Amino acid sequence: MQIKNILKRGFSLSFEVFPPVREGNLESLFTTIAELQIVSPDFISVTYGSGGGSKDKTVAIAARIKSEFPCEALAHLTCVGASALEIKAILTQLSGEGVENILALRGDPPKDEKFFRPSPGGFSFASELIHFIRENWEGGEICIGTAGYPEKHPEAPSLAVDIENLRNKVAAGADFITTQLFFDNDVYFRFVEASRRKGITVPIIPGIFPVLNYAQITKIVSLCHAKIPLELGEKLNRFRDYPAETEKYGIEFAIKQTEGLITAGVPGLHFYTMNKSSAVLPIIEALDFPNRSYEAIRTAKDKR
């Protein structure tokens, strides 16, 4: 099923995973995906990797999710490291595997490069990629998502300019938006309001990153420039040398954050799992999601 149709039904629940660097960890990833099925996610998104280096794994993982699990697969696709001809070949692969949902992104430059450079014969912007997918998809109807940045993309001169770029992506054919991580719900609400004022009407799904590790979140925040609220920052600094306390508080914070989003009527929640079901299942267990019952996860917990 296409994600745009899932969103029309009501509240959606989804998770992001990434292709493991080591081949031997692939089955571990699918163990995680299987564990996530206990809460009946609507879709699992599979990232593309920095510099597009994991594109073959992305296709293979998305195809296996599509064939082995009841949820949908959302395959990431970026402009990095590929010409239009190469991207068309990837689209053919995805179509052949029955994948009908793509998250189209410009993508980050390879680790050894500071700035994004379009590949020869490739694309400079996600809007160009989205238009190309629309024009070249051969597998029937396709659903395309894209990314939104509540605190603006690090390279954008202002949030207003970034929202204008987002409008261009929707105009090119994006059906929904998933946001970059954020820790202040008001940032998300203001972003949605500003997007609506610009005529962006597609669903905007908030992206949630549970804080479980001090060093990890410090690195990620430095890359995406998300702001850490004062209360969260103080607690993380206090617990920085106590991993168990950091994880406990991170889950508590994520529960509080997601409760606020659900109460406000968001179209769904998208969790960045870092390939660990333990990062998100305790959060979902603690919440009453719209139109969902998670007795199974509580039963599983009782058996542990």
Note if the pTM is more than 0.85: yes
Residue 287 confidence class, pLDDT cut points 50, 70, 90: confident
Averaged pLDDT for residues 37-47: 95
- Whether the pLDDT of residue 158 is over 50: the answer is yes
Residue 215 confidence class, pLDDT cut points 50, 70, 90: confident
Which two three-digit tokens encode residue 139?
């597998």
Per-residue HEC secondary structure of the chain comes to CCHHHHHHHCCEEEEEECCCCCHHHHHHHHHHHHHHHHHCCCEEEECCCHHHCCHHHHHHHHHHHHHHCCCEEEEEEECCCCCHHHHHHHHHHHHHCCCCEEEEECCCCCCCCCCCCCCCCCCCCHHHHHHHHHHHCCCCCCEEEEEECCCCCCCCCCHHHHHHHHHHHHHHCCCEEEEEECCCHHHHHHHHHHHHHCCCCCCEEEEECCCCCHHHHHHHHHHHCCCCCHHHHHHHHHCCCCHHHHHHHHHHHHHHHHHHHHHCCCCEEEEECCCCHHHCHHHHHCCCCCCCCCHHHHHHHHHC
155 catalytic, yes or no? no
Check if the beta carbon of residue 98 is closer than 8 Å to that of residue 138: no
Around 218, how many Cα atoms within 13 Å sit in the side-chain half-sphere? Answer: 8
Check if the beta carbon of residue 4 is closer than 8 Å to that of residue 175: yes
Number of domains in the chain: 1
Question: Regarding beta strands 204-208 and 72-78, do their DSSP bridges make them parallel or antiparallel, or are they unpaired?
Answer: unpaired
Which of 16, 100, 151, 247 is an active site residue? 16
Residue 75 lies in domain = 3-299
Residue 304, in any domain of the structure: no
Residue 256, in any domain of the structure: yes
CATH number, domain of 66, equals 3.20.20.220
Averaged pLDDT for residues 197-213: 96
Predicted pLDDT of residue 52? 57
The maximal CA–CA distance of the chain, rounded, in angstroms, is: 56
CB atoms within 10 A of CB 220: 16
Which two three-digit tokens encode residue 40?
């009946």
The per-residue pLDDT for range 244-266, each reduced to its tens digit, is: 999 999 999 999 999 999 999 99
Residue 293 confidence class, pLDDT cut points 50, 70, 90: low
- Whether the pLDDT of residue 63 is over 70: the answer is yes
Predicted pLDDT of residue 48? 85
